[in-house]
Chains A and B, each alone.
Chain A
Amino acid sequence: MSSPTIDTRPIISVRDLVTGFGGQTVLRGLDLDVRTGEILGVVGGSGAGKSVLLRSIIGLVHKTAGSVRVLDVDADATSEAEWRLVERRWGVLFQGGALFSSLTARENIQFPMRQFLDMPEDLMDDLAMIKLELVGLSAKDANKYPSELSGGMTKRVALARALALDPEIVFLDEPTSGLDPIAAGDFDVLIRTLQHTLGITVFMVTHDLDSLAVACDRIAALAEGKIVAEGPMETLLNSEHPWVKAYFGGRRARANGREAHTNPQDGL
């Protein structure tokens, strides 16, 4: 949604978030702000709690302590009905797509519209086609079932479904995992384009260093249950935290490795 006013208040604000499962604490007093209109990438090692953070924000995981405010609504202080309205203003892309296997691509995209809006069939068809074209698919894919879609197409249809109600925030859980580098690169560009065209805020959990570099405005690094570094790429590259150093140091090492590769005298 294009808004003429520049909003300085964070669209998502997480304070002192503690989340754990059966005696094991995953997030220990985490603070994080997401600004309106930005693409924020969250990185962290496997099991560091990136997905748990995302699920805590959207309310799929019960938090032990702390507060989560989304679109200026406090998840704990509001009524169930009001929170439902907030939920309609975001879209979520799950890691595996989570498309409904008994519905076609078009029906998957129309599902939220059918659920929440009273709209004639032909208008819904038009809108579903627009969303499909926005994510780079064509009309011939509309009547395919999820089992007939490739991994990349599944992610695209799932993104189209997340965009069905023109949300203000889109949550992406590892959007490029399982895609080949070319498809992953296309997806990064797609997210950038959509963010620009539709003016959405994107909260993205990822492992993909290229995604971070291409798509994200800001990066937050998650380790030891907290955000240990936050800011644009340069800030993280200069971070002193050992995990962040190892993560982004590995990126430098990899880049160096590529250079060495092109120079046969250096060997490996």
Chain B
Amino acid sequence: MIRAERVAGGLFLTTHPSITTSTASDGLKVTASGTWTIAYAGELEALVEHVPAAERAAIDVGAVDRLDTFGAWLLERLLRKSRDGGGSAELTRVPERFNELLHEVGGANRQPAPEPERRTGVVAWIERIGEGSIAFFIELYYLTGLFGALMMAAGRAIVRPRLSRLTSIVHHLDRVGFQAIGIIVLITFLIGAIVSQQGIFNFRRFGAEDYVVNLLGILVLREIGVLLVAIMVAGRSGSSYTAELGSMKMREEIDALHTMGVDPADVLVLPRVTALVIAMPILTFIGSMSAMVGGGIVAWFYGGMSPEIFISRLRDAVSMHDFWIGIIKAPVMALIIGIVACAEGMRVKGSAESLGLQTTASVVKSIFMVIVLDGIFAMFFSMIGW
């Protein structure tokens, strides 16, 4: 049975493991031989499974040529099979070099391994609901806490302008503002074009395609421009804020700031949120204009409305109110996105998984809150008659 086997290029003398059993007057005789290592995991396990439990067993291991912890544990399992039933079992002809390993493994797994805690049933379900509700309030507590810290930081920066991190603000302004212009122009242009095309196509049935200008102007300025930009900023910049702060949290950089007596709200949160609050209205303006251009171009080529007519109709259709409604909402949404993103970043725990979870939560929550806020604004503006 001995053969030279090629294991990963090297030549090794290994033999297939085998077990023979025979019943003698003084109990079961088991003869183990061959290579008892993890390389033969599958075979060995099947062999050991087939050995019957016996009152008394003697396992001859004199012919085992190699042994590792895996093989040693299977031998130990064989022994325990007899011993657990109240019988006796022992190893015979144990080669000297295996003694230490067998001793080490023989002492293992004496107590059953603790099961990881699992909860099932109605109680667990109710528990989860409870935990969810508590988590909601903890969340609220965090957000208001960070909002307060941010306001304090802003106050400090106003009182002592030397403390305000101008360089940092400009750096973040470049990242979340300037570098976002390209993608925002592209997306809003396309959405404007689609709205315009759909408007013309459907209004044409009533011979009212001229009203596409009203539809486009009001929709884009009041709602779509700012919402689209907010959603894109949340996905693009909010997520990167969360990931940045989260990895800083994981590497104890935030703890380091605390120990130096520096409030992370001053150096990390305030510059980021400030940059976002400045950038969002600008991006909203650019996005709205781009959507208007997209809609105008479709109206020109698809609806046959020349740019001059489009612009003069637009002037009649929209008021400055419509424009301001969009722009006023932008910094408030930026504040929400920034606070949610930073709060989620600060809540990252040690693991990579938690970083991913919080980043997802940051984007989902800020988009949700932006849309809810938009609804509140809509009610407010209709109440004041804008």
| A interface list, Cβ under 8 A from B | 1-5, 71-73, 78, 82, 85-86, 88-89, 101-102, 104, 106, 117-120, 123, 125-127, 129-131, 133-134, 139-140, 142-143, 145-147, 163, 165-166, 196-199
Contacts and interface: CB of A to CB of B under 8 A. Distances in A.
A126 B10 contact: no
Contacts of B41: 117-119
Contact of A118 (B42, B97, B100, B113): B42
Interface string B17-39: 00000000000000000000110
A86 B114 contact: no
B161 to A, nearest CB: 40
Interface residues of B, dominant DSSP: mixed
Interface residues of B, number: 39
Nearest to A165: B38
Nearest to B72: A130
A134 B106 CA distance: 11
A3 to B, nearest CB: 6
8 contacts: A4-B97, A71-B8, A119-B42, A123-B45, A133-B107, A134-B108, A143-B114, A166-B69
Given A143-B116, A196-B100, A197-B100, A82 B45 contact: no
Nearest to A81: B8
Contacts of A134: 69, 104, 108
Interface stretch (B60-68, B318-326, B371-379): B60-68
Interface in B84-129: 95, 97-98, 100-101, 104-105, 107-109, 111, 113-114, 116
B132 interface: no
Given A1-B67, A166-B70, A196-B100, A147 B109 contact: no
A12 B353 CA distance: 37
A104 B113 CA distance: 14
B98 A85 contact: no
A165 B38 CA distance: 7
Interface stretch (B192-200, B273-281, B344-352): B344-352
A82 B114 contact: no
A184 B107 CA distance: 25
B45 A146 contact: no
A101 B67 contact: no
B8 A89 contact: yes
